[in-house]
Amino acid sequence: MKKTKIVLLIVTMWLFSLTIHAETPADTKVCDDWASKAGSYMLFRQMNTPIHKAMENAMGNVTRGLLLSAYQQSVAETNEGKQQAIDNFKNQTYKDCISQMQ
C-alpha cells in the first residue's frame, strides 16, 4: 500500500509539475478526467482483467503509472468491496490531483 501511494504521488507530481497554481473549473476538469481514468483502471483490476489487456487502454507513461498503481491493489472478494476499492482509488486520485494544483 505504501509503495502504491508513493508511485501514485510520483505520477501525479510529474503530471502536474508544469501546472501553475490556480484551482479553476478547467483544473477541476483535469482532475475529474484523471479520477475517471483511475476508476476505469481499478474496475479492470477488480474484474481480474489481465494487466496486458488493461495496458491496451493506457496510453503514455503517466496513465500507465496510474494503471500499475491500481494493479498493486488486491482484488476484493465481494461486489461491495470491489465498488469500495474503485471509489477509494478514484477519490484518492482526485484528491492527489487537486493537491498538486494548490
Mind listing the pLDDT tens digit of every residue in the chain (102 residues)?
555 555 554 555 555 543 444 446 677 899 999 999 999 999 999 999 999 999 998 888 888 999 999 999 999 999 999 999 999 999 999 999 999 887
Helix (H, G, I), strand (E, B) or coil at 24: coil
Terminal CA-CA length for the chain: 25
Q: What is the pTM of this model?
A: 0.73
Other CB atoms within 10 A of residue 53 CB: 9
Q: Where are the alpha helices (DSSP H) in 1-102?
A: 2-15, 25-46, 51-54, 61-71, 79-101
Per-residue pLDDT, 54: 93
Share above pLDDT 70 across residues of the chain, in percent, rounded to a whole number: 75
